[in-house]
Structure 1
């Protein structure tokens, strides 16, 4: 019979598919991503983009660490279930606070963020007492306890809020890359950080679907508020095409090979790097959702440089993350995607067309990349079969 601590850990016979509560947890990000898109829409400046990026990174790190947690522990354990429900509530509260997180709701945002991480660390450290893996959770608990100080201090010190939160996030993001080094405990060993590749890759696909769903939802709601005239209809269809093409670009082919790559890689490298790169891709989808609202609501508007940069910048951010993602998995660059990135960057500078035409340009570039990807995959398969 397994000991009490062992019953908390994911066993070899535990299904690798996401549990119901993991999917329930993902729903909290529908609100968070929607709030982030609105936060950026109402402050389309460089400073506004940086503030949105700060909040997105904090919310994203709740998701990432919860995905690791659910990968290491048995999702059927009552303690794990309770912590997943708590993480869902914390994510919802962070989403509620997002529009004013840097102003009147800073305490709610920081408090929700800290509570999710510290409560999870405290419960798992206590539950694993006497078990060899307690040192792993204790290291993580110590790091999040340290970063909690600048998080909470920033919530109560408006003048220092942004630098303190940037510092706190830097601690949280660099910790796993370094193996959470802690006095007297050292760094976590590679075997302690092992991730079930199939489960982890599936979780990434699910959160990408959530982000794409937010894009489609924004497009539908914005289109519903128009008179359904031809330019708005064209803009809506172009946003839908953008969502489809981004989805295809994600899963082909590195997105489908992530699980195998993680199984055979150092998790402190690939497991953490892919978390950073998915943040870039998710950020691209948030910006794309803002661009979707602008293009559908004002399809014939021309000469708005900010709107053009947003409409083109979303796919650019996604492509940049996707290029680096392929580099991390395959250790090679996709030159068609690199070329597409430069084309989109040039378009954001020179295009002064109506916004629906700018959106069409972005879709055309994405479509070319998808076609070239498919042609490359088919050529590779023919070569392999002839061998």
Structure 2
């Protein structure tokens, strides 16, 4: 796969399943926004992310839209889609039908098994890559077995077993080495940029769904515009400069160093970005419900508890993950985002004294202000990066 490779239609088609999974998680958490429920939602997102990320690596070294690889992607899509449907039962089985937690665990196993099988086929003439696949296999098996065991338990034990499964899988990935292949840095960065757009799209969907059944009103219009301003600021934060400098840093190295940057910067550090966006989506969904549902709320009602923590904490997590990502990729520290991330965490408790829409307005003002300040303060550097010759 050459450096000019771009995402194929089948990869974009595959991403639709991940879109659906994120929507299901957000809706599921919004039904019961408690700490336990949100923690479990984050665990589900992490599992689904690990399903998606494996195929981002696979499709970077093979032609995803040809031969057996196309069939493999369709098989993985089927298992991942059934797993997404099962998300409301991933921890607690609903009456009737099959045992939900077990079905979810088997779907995860199927997605991972197809991934390993496809990599095994792709490495037929590459001894180094095949050795890497073999070293990776124990962590994959360990994680999926623990998830199957977790399906037979409940309560805190089940949650801890989920966490253990993810630790085994993620830690095992690091311990298995850096002998993977990267066919195209541009393609790899593009795939992760597209998944950020997918997550941001879920935030926009949450804004719409939050008021879909309510009559249109000025408060709904204002809250919607504020929500879009927040999401747009997050888009700008990633795609204006950060995505460009990170992709160039990835393309500037080769071999194991390139694999390490891809694994650390994209595979791992994009996860908290996605989690932050989904937490924000949960908060936005609740703000819009507070604003438009005059039967159960007034415009003076504050946002509090988990929804408020999700709104401000999600935005802070996204920004802080950006800081870490850029530092990891380029050793460049974004002080403004580091400071604002800390400010968001500090002021969040104070927002309980303001109406829900005012809390959203403050968040929008802070994020848009950050983007405006960065654009002004780093105008020359920004122009140089965005208009660099040869890019």
For the aligned residue pairs, the C-alpha RMSD in angstroms reads 2.2
- CA 1:82–1:293 in 2, change beyond 3 Å: closer, same or farther? same
Looking at structure 2, the residues matched to 280 and 269 of structure 1 have their Cα atoms a distance apart, in angstroms, of: 18
Kindly tell me the number of residue pairs found equivalent between the two proteins. Answer: 365
- CA 1:360–1:135 in 2, change beyond 3 Å: closer, same or farther? same
Q: Any stretches of 5+ residues in structure 2 without a counterpart?
A: 94-99, 292-298
TM-score, normalised with respect to structure 2:
0.87
Q: In the alignment, is the contact (CA less than 8 A) between 2:302 and 2:355 conserved in 1?
A: yes
TM-fit CA distance, 1:365:
0.6
TM-fit CA distance, 1:383:
8.6
Query: For residue 237 of structure 1, what is the aligned residue in structure 2?
Result: 225
Q: In the alignment, is the contact (CA less than 8 A) between 1:24 and 1:88 conserved in 2?
A: no
Query: For residue 296 of structure 2, what is the aligned residue in structure 1?
Result: none
Superposed, 1:1-387 pairs within 5 Å as 11-12=1-2, 16-104=5-93, 105-125=100-120, 128-129=123-124, 131-132=126-127, 133-158=129-154, 160-178=157-175, 180=176, 187-189=177-179, 192-194=180-182, 196-265=184-253, 266-274=257-265, 275-299=267-291, 300-306=299-305, 307-351=307-351, 352-380=353-381
SS in structure 2 at match of 1:241: helix
CA deviations on 1:188-217 (whole Å, 9 max, x unpaired) are: 43xx33352100110011111111111111
Looking at structure 1, the residues matched to 80 and 44 of structure 2 have their Cα atoms a distance apart, in angstroms, of: 12
Q: Which moved more, 1:105-114 or 1:130-139?
A: 130-139
Looking at structure 1, the residues matched to 146 and 173 of structure 2 have their Cα atoms a distance apart, in angstroms, of: 18
Q: Which moved more, 1:148-157 or 1:48-57?
A: 148-157
Q: Any stretches of 5+ residues in structure 1 without a counterpart?
A: 1-10, 181-186
Looking at structure 2, the residues matched to 232 and 63 of structure 1 have their Cα atoms a distance apart, in angstroms, of: 35
- CA 1:383–1:68 in 2, change beyond 3 Å: closer, same or farther? closer
TM-fit CA distance, 1:12:
4.0
Q: In the alignment, is the contact (CA less than 8 A) between 1:97 and 1:108 conserved in 2?
A: yes
Looking at structure 1, the residues matched to 159 and 105 of structure 2 have their Cα atoms a distance apart, in angstroms, of: 12
- CA 1:164–1:86 in 2, change beyond 3 Å: closer, same or farther? same
- CA 1:202–1:126 in 2, change beyond 3 Å: closer, same or farther? closer
Q: In the alignment, is the contact (CA less than 8 A) between 1:37 and 1:289 conserved in 2?
A: yes
CA deviations on 1:48-76 (whole Å, 9 max, x unpaired) are: 22111111100011111110011122223
Q: In the alignment, is the contact (CA less than 8 A) between 2:86 and 2:104 conserved in 1?
A: yes
Q: In the alignment, is the contact (CA less than 8 A) between 1:28 and 1:88 conserved in 2?
A: yes
CA deviations on 1:27-84 (whole Å, 9 max, x unpaired) are: 0012111111122212322222211111110001111111001112222331111111
TM-fit CA distance, 1:293:
1.3
Q: In the alignment, is the contact (CA less than 8 A) between 2:375 and 2:382 conserved in 1?
A: no
Q: In the alignment, is the contact (CA less than 8 A) between 1:117 and 1:144 conserved in 2?
A: yes
SS in structure 1 at match of 2:378: helix
Looking at structure 1, the residues matched to 40 and 102 of structure 2 have their Cα atoms a distance apart, in angstroms, of: 16
- CA 1:49–1:224 in 2, change beyond 3 Å: closer, same or farther? closer
TM-score, normalised with respect to structure 1:
0.88
SS in structure 1 at match of 2:269: helix
CA deviations on 1:161-214 (whole Å, 9 max, x unpaired) are: 322221111121123323x1xxxxxx443xx33352100110011111111111
SS in structure 1 at match of 2:86: helix
Looking at structure 1, the residues matched to 361 and 169 of structure 2 have their Cα atoms a distance apart, in angstroms, of: 39
